A = this chain, B = another copy of it.
Amino acid sequence: MLGQIIVYRLPWTWKCSKLLMKSIHAGLHAVAAILAIISLVAVFDFHNAKNIPNMYSLHSWVGLTVVILYILQLLLGVFIFLLPWAPLSLRALVMPIHVYSGLLIFGTVIATVLMGVTEKLFFALTSSGYSTSPPEGVFTNTLGLLIVVFGALIFWIVTRPQWQRPKEPNSIFLQPNGGAQEGVEGSAINFSNVDKSDSELNNEVAARKRNFIVDEAGQRSTM
């Protein structure tokens, strides 16, 4: 989920079109969702083959919930933001929920992984004794700590304004102050960049209106 969440925050992608970046964001998430489903099937198959009951642990409850939410988030995202049919008012309404859900799902996946690692350590290190801190235990605990650090890093990148995808350059003409606001936003130290997509949405509204006018003039829409 690393690439998908921070895909809009790589400065070298800011030259790419919004539609391309949206497609990459959705595409990477789709690949991750397919891998998650394959993993779940593998887990259930393994349990059934070994006569281990399914879905009894907290790890499994939280994990299955978050995978279902992840697939829902993906489908809603594709239908509302990627495909061109959703009205812009709906996009504006759903965008903050989409951003919130994305980060919540990401955080919950980290928690699920940590519970899974905890479970696995207690299962696997019964003979060597997890409580005697064997090398495998220390190694895997370190891995667990690194997963937390990884989550913290992604969360930091996503909430920094410096790594925010700049507004579409052609949209500044429609801003009352001719885009001067851009610099102010860039220097502000706040979390508003997380929902940068809101202003992007406004730009899309503006761009659609503009393109509509351009279309009217007989030119081909760039949307």
Contacts and interface: CB of A to CB of B under 8 A. Distances in A.
A57 to B, nearest CB: 7
A152 interface: yes
Q: Does more than half of chain A's interface fall in helix, strand or loop, or is it mixed?
A: helix
A192 B190 contact: yes
A133 interface: yes
Given A195-B189, A198-B189, A114 B117 contact: no
A61 interface: yes
A130 B57 contact: yes
Nearest to A59: B118
Interface in A103-140: 103-104, 107-108, 110-111, 114-115, 117-119, 121-122, 130-133, 137, 140
Contacts of A53: 131-133
A44 to B, nearest CB: 14
Contacts of A59: 118
A30 to B, nearest CB: 24
A77 interface: no
Contact of A195 (B107, B108, B130, B191): B191
Contacts of A152: 104
Interface stretch (A6-14, A80-88, A92-100, A209-217): A92-100
B56 A145 contact: no
Interface residues of A, number: 54
A132 to B, nearest CB: 7
Contact of A131 (B52, B93, B159): B52
Contacts of A118: 57-59, 115, 118-119
A221 interface: no
A20 B35 CA distance: 51
Contact of A141 (B57, B110, B144, B190): B57
Contacts of A92: 189
Contacts of A96: 189-191
Interface string A68-94: 000000000000000000000000110
